[in-house]
Amino acid sequence: MSAPVLEPRAARPAAAPPPRPGSARPSRSGAAGAVEPGRPRRGPRRALALAVIASCNAMIQLDDAVVNIALPGMRADLGLTPVGSSWVLNAYLLAFGGLLLLGGRAGDVLGRRKVFLTGVALFTAGAAARAAAPGVEVLTAVRIVQGVGAALAAPSGLALLLSTFEEGAPRKRAIAVCTAVGAVSTAGGLLLAGTLSSLSGWRWELLLNVPLGVLVLALGPFVIAETRRNPGRFDLAGALLSALGATALVHGLARAAEEGAGDARALGSVACGVLLLALFAGVERRAAHPVVAPVLFRDRARVLSYAATLAVPGSVMGAYFFLNQYFQQQAGYGPLGAALALTPLAATMALTAGAAVRLERHLGPRHLMATGAALLLTGNLWLSRLPDAAPADAASAVPYWTGVLPPLLLLGAGMACCVIPPTVLATSGLRGGEAGAASSVLNAVQTLGGSLGLAVLVAVASRAGMTAGFTAGAACAGAALLAALLIGRRPGRTGEGGA
């Protein structure tokens, strides 16, 4: 849920017109959420609102760890074929990635709290139902329901965070909290899922994030203030093109990760997705009520923050994907041992998130993001020294404490430094009707970056081995570093509080 010392200034209109009935009142800086009516004003209530939003973020991030560890048990008990197993993962990913842009627009038009809670309810119901699924058909259907719920909840949750915390230090700290909670949920999810899978089976494991969903639904209506609706109609043509285009693109990239980059269906799906998204961009320029306002892409810092968000997932994807196999197939670890060995990455990210906010105040987002990307680059190059084949004897194996743990710590710290700056830059200087759209674009780019990164890394590793896969991860980090360096210095707002 990812500034020079100061943030970029939004363009100031010559004279701000009075707000229309039903529209959000702009802040002094022109930001959507700085003083939007209805946001919680008391400290304790704002803290509870942040806890609810962060819990939703944790619930969604925890799901990936839960499903991946439960998948072997599902295959055995339900008789899943390789195709059926892939659909358990891809059905959710396609619904989530395909509907993110529409989910953000729905929050702007219908009310962000309403859409947020609706998404959480769908996600939680799907998570509970999958634990009782009798076969692959029901399992795939409830995974689609979960994807729809996540597409509604994720962008609306980030938009609610923007409307609850004003720009500057309060918002940066809130983003850091969500980042830390998400990292802790990933680490804890790996350990809990591995333990439950060993003790009581995969069905109980799939219920792990249900209590978080119930907690959000119970507290959300009381601690999160509803935002004012932004009047307007849904752009049906744009919504359809964006959903189909994003779905085709994500499907093609997911298939490329499984079948190889040269797979004809994968290439055709990617080409179709690119074409549909190009048509979507043309439709949005002429639409009266676009799904995504083209004005979001006129700010250089925001566009470069989207580029960095696209590149960063590929720089850490290899650690989870390749190292899980390395630990179990070459180092002789069991599932729980592999989860424990990977935990320092997420733990370091959680512990570093708060320090990243303070560093951002002194370094600015450009230099903090560049520092984080450099750490990711170094960590991937370090891991590229791991052998592709199992050693001939235990004495020649790479020691975990000196050969694996240090780069994992670098990757965790690098991720913490690379999440906060792009999120701040992508969501700064927004007007009342733009927060949901900006949030959905940020989430969509992050999802696309994960699919693209995995496809590239797997395609490279399948031809040249794990070492080359980590080198490709280093290239992703290099792309994020370039995007960070291209963000120019801008004058910041006066009166911004320190972190």
Fold match flag (39-228 vs 296-491): yes
In the chain, domain spans = 39-228, 235-290, 296-491
Determine the pLDDT at residue 491. 37
Say how far apart CA 210 and CA 80 lie, in whole Å: 24
Convert the pLDDT of each residue in 420-460 to its tens digit.
898 888 888 777 667 777 888 888 888 888 878 877 888 88
Determine the pLDDT at residue 494. 32
Residue 35's CB is within 10 A of a number of other CB atoms, namely: 16
Mean pLDDT score across all residues of the chain: 81
Say how far apart CA 414 and CA 428 lie, in whole Å: 22
pLDDT by residue for the chain (499 residues), tens digit each? 433 333 333 333 344 444 433 333 333 333 333 334 444 444 678 899 999 999 999 999 888 878 877 777 788 888 877 667 777 877 888 888 888 888 888 888 888 999 999 999 999 999 999 989 888 889 989 999 999 999 999 999 998 998 888 888 888 899 999 988 888 887 777 777 777 766 777 888 888 889 999 999 999 999 998 877 776 677 778 888 888 888 888 888 878 877 777 889 989 999 999 999 999 988 888 887 788 878 888 888 889 999 999 999 999 988 888 887 788 778 888 767 887 888 899 899 999 988 998 898 888 888 999 999 999 999 999 999 998 776 655 555 788 999 999 999 999 999 999 988 988 888 887 776 677 778 888 888 888 888 788 778 888 888 888 899 999 999 999 999 999 999 865 433 333 333 3
Say how far apart CA 387 and CA 324 lie, in whole Å: 14
CB 250 within 8 A of CB 454: no
Instruction: Rounding to the nearest 10 degrees, give the CA dihedral for residues 191, 197, 203, 206.
Output: 20
- In the chain, % of residues over pLDDT 70: 84
CATH 1.20.1250.20 fits 39-228, yes or no: yes
299-313 exposure pattern, b = at least 16 Cβ within 10 A, e = fewer:
bebbbbbbbbbbbbb
Determine the pLDDT at residue 232. 64
Say how far apart CA 336 and CA 194 lie, in whole Å: 5
Please state whether 22 falls in left (phi above 0), alpha (psi between -120 and 50) or beta: left
Tokens representing residue 110 in the block: 């219908």
Convert the pLDDT of each residue in 136-160 to its tens digit.
889 989 999 999 999 999 999 998 9
**Biggest alpha carbon–alpha carbon distance for the chain:** 75
Three-state SS for the chain is CCCCCCCCCCCCCCCCCCCCCCCCCCCCCCCCCCCCCCCCCCHHHHHHHHHHHHHHHHHHHHHHHHHHHHHHHHHHHHCCCHHHHHHHHHHHHHHHHHHHHHHHHHHHHHCHHHHHHHHHHHHHHHHHHHCCCCCHHHHHHHHHHHHHHHHHHHHHHHHHHHHHCCCCHHHHHHHHHHHHHHHHHHHHHHHHHHHHHHHCCHHHHCCCCHHHHHHHHHHHHHHCCCCCCCCCCCCHHHHHHHHHHHHHHHHHHHHHHHHCCCCHHHHHHHHHHHHHHHHHHHHHHHCCCCCCCHHHHCCHHHHHHHHHHHHHHHHHHHHHHHHHHHHHHCCCCCHHHHHHHHHHHHHHHHHHHHHHHHHHHHHHHHHHHHHHHHHHHHHHHHHCCCCCCCCCCHHHCCCHHHHCHHHHHHHHHHHHHHHHHHHHHHCCCCCCCCHHHHHHHHHHHHHHHHHHHHHHHHHHHHHHCHHHHHHHHHHHHHHHHHHHHHCCCCCCCCCCCCC
Say how far apart CA 429 and CA 23 lie, in whole Å: 17
Say how far apart CA 395 and CA 406 lie, in whole Å: 20
CATH class of 296-491: mainly alpha
Tokens representing residue 457 in the block: 């890394």
Determine the pLDDT at residue 28. 34
Distance in Å from the first CA to the final CA of the chain: 20
